Homo-oligomer: A and B are copies of this chain.
Amino acid sequence: MSPGHIALPADMPAPETGGCLATRQILDRIGDKWSLYIVAMLAHGPRRFNELKRGIDGISQRMLTLTLRGLERDGLVTRTMYPTIPPRVDYELTDMGQTLLTPVMALVNWANDNQAAIADARQRFDDKPEPDQVLIQGVVYERR
């Protein structure tokens, strides 16, 4: 059993098929700092390198290149070079990249719908005072 492997509940894809490893993979891809922003920018058609750079606030040249390479490697994005002067490179979602948009949007929408509830929960959790006493192994401990 590999590290990080878990016994998945019945309604998850069979673990033997590598379902949870596949999930880890795609989560490592879209869970990183920039991939989703890039995918979002490419959702409505091809974009050039600097077009992406300008559209994604805060991203460095380095991370844009690196993330695009990763997406390209995984077959989610295509890279097309035009040997013009000055050079021009277009990035575009592949068909697979397009299909990823559906589950990703479901997550984005969930996040959007529940952000207030999460913020509230955090507030309550953080504001919660330490209990005056705790009961451990049948013994009461008071706070001083």
A-side interface residues toward B, CB under 8 Å? 1-13, 17-23, 25-27, 30-33, 36-37, 40-41, 43-44, 55-58, 72-75, 83, 85-87, 96, 99-100, 102-112, 114-115, 117-118, 120-122, 125-126, 135-138
Contacts and interface: CB of A to CB of B under 8 A. Distances in A.
Nearest to A45: B9
Contacts of A2: 57
Contact of A12 (B30, B40, B106): B40
A6 B103 contact: no
A4 B19 contact: no
A2 B46 CA distance: 25
A126 B73 contact: yes
A19 B112 contact: yes
A118 B102 CA distance: 17
6 contacts: A4-B57, A11-B43, A12-B108, A25-B115, A26-B111, A75-B120
A73 B111 CA distance: 16
A111 B23 contact: yes
Contacts of A5: 57-58
B57 A3 contact: yes
B13 A109 contact: yes
Contacts of A18: 115
Given A36-B27, A73-B126, A112 B10 contact: no
